[in-house]
A and B are shown apart, each in its own frame.
Chain A
Amino acid sequence: MRSEPYVQVEGVRKVYPDGVQALGGVTIDFRKGEVHGLLGENGAGKSTLMRILFGQIRPTGGKILIDGGQVNFNSPHDAISHRIGMVFQHFMLVSSFTGFENIMLGLETGKGFRSEQDVRKSSEALALRLGLKVDLDETVENMPMGERQRVEILKLLVRNVDLLILDEPTSALTPLETDELLNVMKRLKGEGKTIVFVTHKLREALSACDRITVMRKGAKVDTVEARSADLRSLALMMVGREVLPETKKGTPKLRDLLLEVRELVALSDTGSEALRGVSFQIRGGEIFGIAGVAGNGQNELVEVITGLRRAKSGVVLVGGVETTTKSPREIYDLGLAHIPEDRLGRGVVPALSVKDNLLLGLQFRPEFEEHMMMRQTAIDENARDLIRTYSIAATEDTPVKSLSGGNIQRVVVAREFSKSPLIIVASQPTTGLDISATEFVRQELLKMRDEGKAVLLISSELEEVTGLSDTMAVMYEGRLAGFKRPEEFTAEEVGLMMGGAKVEQ
């Protein structure tokens, strides 16, 4: 059942203004009436490519062809008028509107005008024919995630979209809702629609797709027929064929148990179960690394450990003290330091000076506070010391927002390490940093380990986890699997675990 290419991307490149290359010339063809899987880890370029196809960002080079003719999209509007639509991972609905009002939104006036009766009639007909269960008059905020997603799909179908991009559509769904979605996808395909299914989940890709394109590091690895592919080959393509790098660090000198997590269960912001029973232990002098595609519960895990989110059940012990219901401040006092993933949004106060940022979280300590007043001389001296020790390219009065990403991370690292912690939780500590800053952060983490601290390293960059960890595990849908020394893993095994195809041996 060969069919002609319907939509093609040809040599599409994207270089961001800061010089980061997100896509390096990708060519894929999508056929009429197929479900086309797009598989890859974080940063593989899947989302960037899809946002280009949806007209949301403009490519630096390359072209998009529909039925062989070149098109130019300046906005999602253009894409939709060429019958290409996208459902984002985070839904774009007005939550105080009903399902119908959301579908209607943008059709009431102007070029695309359609009467309410007309839209309602076609929504109802489409919903019935495709088995999209949507209560059109229910307010979106009262809908479960699955139904919201169906509103999004319906919204696009009413606009006569023929190519539907679904970005990680199953990540917010329950297993039952996922099955339902896969059924809807089959019916859409039956109607001749093309579906691009962006995912990192291997099993779903294999069962739902006709063909699968695997991407890695901004490039296409290959497009394969789903029938002839298997979990192993996909996993290998996703992670890469290179052997996992050897660790160039000494054997750990293990000390006391410092951080213990037992059967942790926690909810995400949307109320779904983000952690489904996570347990691990970290001793002093050890780096425990958690690999995995972002969004599988890593953020929630970090937030529960650092006191920023309450667990539903389970226990966290910091130095033997239960901290499950303690505040961030109490947990810091027990010797925990936290290098957060969201550097600018959480790790620093961009408008304040380097000096003030180096004080963040230390402001209550007696060396900096006396009778509720700040001990400015001590604060200044401390800032100058840290700036020198960590080679931060700034003076103590420079506002942090004018620093480079690498220097901002130096500020965060300097501050957290200056707390003389027992435990360091480092979340995506090198994202967006240049090579020298990355190397600096990694060396500092290793130094902390050699000084006998416990380090929890969470990163979606696989080389980082394998290179630094003494023990590592892979996180998938709120669970950990693996728990071995990095060199005992094969690339294929890690890929399978990241794609959820191998949960526990």
Chain B
Amino acid sequence: MNSKFGIGGEKVTKVLQSVAIIAFGFVIGGIIMLAVGYDPVAAYSAVFFGSAEKGMQGAFGGIFGITSTIREASFIILTGLAAQIAFSAGVFNVGIEGAMYLGAFVSFMCAYSFSAPPGSILGVLHALLSILAAMIAGLLWMSIPALLKIKRGAHEVVTTIMLNYVATSLTELLVVKFFLPTTGVPPGGIVTPLISQSAMIPQIDVMGAQLNLGFIPTIIVAIIAYIVIKKSVVGYSIRVVGSNPNAAKYAGIEVGKIILLVMLAGGAMGGLAGAIAVQFTEYRFDQAFSPGYGTSGIPVALIGRLDVVGIVLAGLFMAALHIGAQSIQPVTGMPSQVSLLIEGVIVFTASMPGAFDLLRNYLKPKGEKSE
């Protein structure tokens, strides 16, 4: 009874800590805005509620704002979960972006190359198989840095960052080489033709706004992640490996396998995010589809304090901030550089408690004892 309460107490402190630090970030952002000569209250209200007379909805000020925020959140919650499962095992997986690009391209290839009567069982199968192919592509892509780490000890931060460039450049090359000739020189950037209709997941009309259904696979993944991490023996093993790899070996846990598992899982989640971009959102592969969804996963995981529920909330928060920030300029006239700066400051401060949680794990106290 007492202990249950104690754990609850610890959670409450964490939440309060995070809320306080986020508020602090907003204060710093406000000071910067005052210094540059803009009204922070007006700006923040534009972020969240927009402004009716300027026709902006911010993040939550109307159905268009809300659907945009949900769309954005689906991506970064997914990449946040991918980052979190790696962090839990002490692995710093920065390669979600690359897995996402690979996944998006493979999803496009499957969705474009085949077709079935839309709405038929075959059509549903086509859509699902294209998503699955994207996840497998992300997984296989991530096996490169994972195996390099396990077999050769190459640090994942270095390899995954490098592979991100390989992935984005490779997909760009493929599009330019094979698809641009058919779409022509693009006013809309480096994009492919549309995919077959059978693989398109439709957007739902909600009071005139288009609701992207990407949140459904994201919620499914979040539930699975929650169960795996909190309730399964594999999740227990991941936590042990992340906290003390020596104890893990001692307990008969194969550390290499766990590292492989968390990285591959992250790759599959990245691939899924890619499929959402293609099959749920744009219905084509657009080289510029990601404003950095993959890397945003890391601050999302940190703001969410490496907790599944926290990450869902943090993803919504960051998506709101990102979508809402687009209303600042039209409403207050503040240059977009300043609003980007403010967004950065708030995300950075909000990530701090999570970053310290991680650091504390890495920097174990060393006793002064000798002999």
Contact = CB atoms under 8 A, between A and B. Distances in A.
Interface of A: 16-17, 20, 22, 42-48, 51, 57, 306, 308, 327-329, 332, 338, 340, 342, 345-352, 356, 359-361, 363-364, 368-369, 372-374, 376, 395-398
Given A346-B246, A361-B251, A361-B252, A373 B232 contact: yes
B231 to A, nearest CB: 5
Contacts of A45: 371
Contacts of B4: 397
A374 B232 contact: yes
Interface in B250-280: 250-254
Nearest to B234: A372
Interface string B1-27: 011101100000000000000000000
Interface residues of B, number: 30
A347 B254 CA distance: 16
Interface stretch (B146-154, B185-193, B237-245, B311-319): B237-245
A208 B253 CA distance: 47
A396 B3 contact: yes
Contact of B252 (A350, A364, A373): A364
A349 B4 CA distance: 21
Given A332-B252, A360-B251, A395-B2, A352 B240 contact: yes
B370 A48 contact: yes
B236 A359 contact: yes
B203 to A, nearest CB: 36
A393 to B, nearest CB: 14
B205 interface: no
A283 B7 CA distance: 46
A373 B226 CA distance: 12
Interface in B355-371: 361, 364, 368-371
A349 B236 contact: no
Given A349-B243, A395-B3, 12 more contacts: A329-B252, A329-B253, A332-B252, A345-B246, A347-B250, A349-B240, A349-B248, A350-B244, A361-B251, A363-B236, A374-B236, A397-B6
Contacts of A348: 244, 247
A48 to B, nearest CB: 5
A361 B239 CA distance: 13
A351 B246 contact: no
19 contacts: A20-B369, A47-B371, A306-B250, A308-B249, A328-B251, A328-B252, A346-B250, A349-B244, A350-B243, A350-B364, A351-B361, A352-B243, A363-B233, A363-B237, A363-B251, A364-B233, A372-B234, A376-B231, A397-B3
A308 B250 contact: yes
**In the complex, which of the residues A22, A350, A360 has the most CB atoms of chain B within 10 Å of its own CB atom?**
A360
A200 B4 CA distance: 52
Nearest to A14: B370
A430 B9 CA distance: 35
A400 B222 CA distance: 29
Contacts of B364: 350
Given A338-B250, A352-B243, A356-B239, A16 B369 contact: yes
